[in-house]
Amino acid sequence: MQTNLPTDLLATEQGQTADKILRSCVHCGFCLSTCPTYGILGDELDSPRGRIYLIKSVLEGNEVSKDTLDHLDRCLTCRSCETTCPSGVEYGHLLDIGREVVEERSPRHPLQRLSRYAVRKSLTTAWFLI
């Protein structure tokens, strides 16, 4: 896939990795057959290929909309799509990068940000699990 990431992002390791992964996708759609969210919802934007387009758009500097957030939030991060990709696209790695950038620029309500932070922190802190 052709990409047009901004030069300041391409100057970072994260940007270079994302660009390489994006360019390895050939839009074939084989991954759709093993994606549970696409299987249930039937929406291209809830498929790996659709989410790759959304991440590409965000990394190229386009707006992060509520719809973009919803489609990326619905991804289970199961990486089942990677098992059927003939091009070896590292979707999980791209998703991590995309989510980080989206989180920085997202239109989430501050309370939602706070509750997500609290859940993430509590689930990854040892004292909470004792």
The residues of the shown chain that bind ligand SF4, judged by CB under 6 A, are 25-31, 34-37, 48-49, 51-52, 75-81, 85, 87, 89, 91
Query: Minimum distance from CB of 49 to ligand SF4 (Å)?
Result: 4
In the bound state with ligand SF4, the residue whose beta carbon lies nearer, of 31 and 64, is 31
Reduced 3-state DSSP string for 58-77? HHCCCCCCHHHHHHHHCCCC
Query: Minimum distance from CB of 100 to ligand SF4 (Å)?
Result: 16
In the bound state with ligand SF4, the residue whose beta carbon lies nearer, of 56 and 126, is 56
Which runs of consecutive H residues, i.e. helices, occur in the chain? 7-10, 13-24, 36-41, 48-59, 66-73, 91-105, 110-123, 126-129
Query: Minimum distance from CB of 76 to ligand SF4 (Å)?
Result: 4
In the bound state with ligand SF4, the residue whose beta carbon lies nearer, of 93 and 108, is 93
Taking phi first (over 0 means left), then psi (-120 to 50 degrees means alpha), and beta for anything else, what does residue 29 get?
A: left
Separation between Cα atoms, residue 13 and residue 35, nearest integer Å: 28
In the bound state with ligand SF4, the residue whose beta carbon lies nearer, of 28 and 119, is 28
Separation between Cα atoms, residue 90 and residue 85, nearest integer Å: 9
Query: Minimum distance from CB of 43 to ligand SF4 (Å)?
Result: 12
